[in-house]
Amino acid sequence: MSIRTMSVAGSFYPSSKEEIERYIDHFNTILEQHPTTRKEFAHMSTHAVVVPHAGWVYSGFTANIAYWVLTRTHPKTVVVIGPSHRVGFDGVSICDYENYQTPLGELKIDTTLVEKIKKTFGLYTIEQAHHEHSTEVQMPFIKHYMNNAKVIEMVYAYADPTQLSPIIDYLLNLPDLAVVISTDLSHYHSLDQAKKLDSICLEAIQHVNSSTLHKGCEACGKIGVEAMLDIAKKRDLKATLLDYRTSADASGDSERVVGYASALFR
């Protein structure tokens, strides 16, 4: 039985079940301290979210809100799409293993849908691309909130949004399925500059306008976000920003800042 093994457990997120549960409990305790916001999010449902992918100590709270909302639609398959940080290649790679390892236990990969996607869009698998943190950090959240859901991991490098958008459109036509778009925002600017650059990304998302991304958004997963925005506009989906923060909130370092946001489409 083939397994997509963990590659960043213990660095980007905890390597033990107990620590992961402690983190998520902490994130939800913070959310409970803001009852108005929590009540607003509790009435939302979605099949498509944007989430960050840094270390959980920096961006875990932001990502957690998206999964806390997403679980209310009870998806049977969750497709995670993220940018490659380690391996350069043309196009999109899809993970064709049978199971996905997490500290909380294995997730089953939706192998039937993987084969359909490969045949429909001519995708292939580059094994080296699937040691990728932008997708892997999402899997413990999925296992925690949607224990019985199956997953699919897709990683892109030198790709165009037009390669991803028809795939996303196809996926959103399927019942009981959710799409997760993984991206961080600006990297290693001063806090003021980071907020300025990130505001461009946030405006694009909130107004479902992909052209705004090209006015200075520095998201590392901009290709995936642009593809998602194009499909959201086509489907007349509305966007809701769930959370925005920077690494400075956790580290106190306001000189080399990374931005994080989560959002949903409905």
CATH-assigned architecture of domain 3-265:
3-Layer(aba) Sandwich (3.40)
**Do the Cβ atoms of 181 and 230 come closer than 8 Å?**
no
Looking at residue 64, its pLDDT comes to 98
Work out the angle at residue 146's Cα, subtended by the Cα atoms of residues 241 and 225, and round it to the nearest 5 degrees: 35
Q: 3-state SS of 33-91?
A: CCHHHHHHHHCCCCCEEEECCCCHHHHHHHHHHHHHHHHHHCCCEEEEEEECCCCCCEC
**Whole-prediction pTM value?**
0.97
**Do the Cβ atoms of 182 and 82 come closer than 8 Å?**
yes
Looking at residue 72, its pLDDT comes to 94
The β-bridge relationship of strands 150-156 and 92-94 is antiparallel
CA–CA separation, 14 and 52 (whole Å): 16
Q: Would you kindly state where each structural domain of the chain is located, as residue ranges?
A: 3-265
Looking at residue 119, its pLDDT comes to 97
CA 179 to chain centre: 8
pLDDT tens-digit readout, 22-36:
999 999 999 999 999
Distances (CA, A) of 171 to 200, 228, 241: 27, 11, 22
| Backbone conformation region of residue 188, classed left if phi is above 0, alpha if psi is from -120 to 50, else beta | left
Question: For each of the chain's 266 residues, which pLDDT tens digit applies?
Answer: 699 999 999 999 999 999 999 999 999 999 999 999 899 998 999 999 999 999 999 999 999 999 999 999 999 999 999 999 999 999 999 999 999 999 999 999 999 999 999 999 999 999 999 999 999 999 999 999 999 999 999 999 999 999 999 999 999 999 999 999 999 999 999 999 999 999 999 999 999 999 999 999 999 999 999 999 999 999 999 999 999 999 999 999 999 999 999 999 99
CA–CA separation, 39 and 30 (whole Å): 13
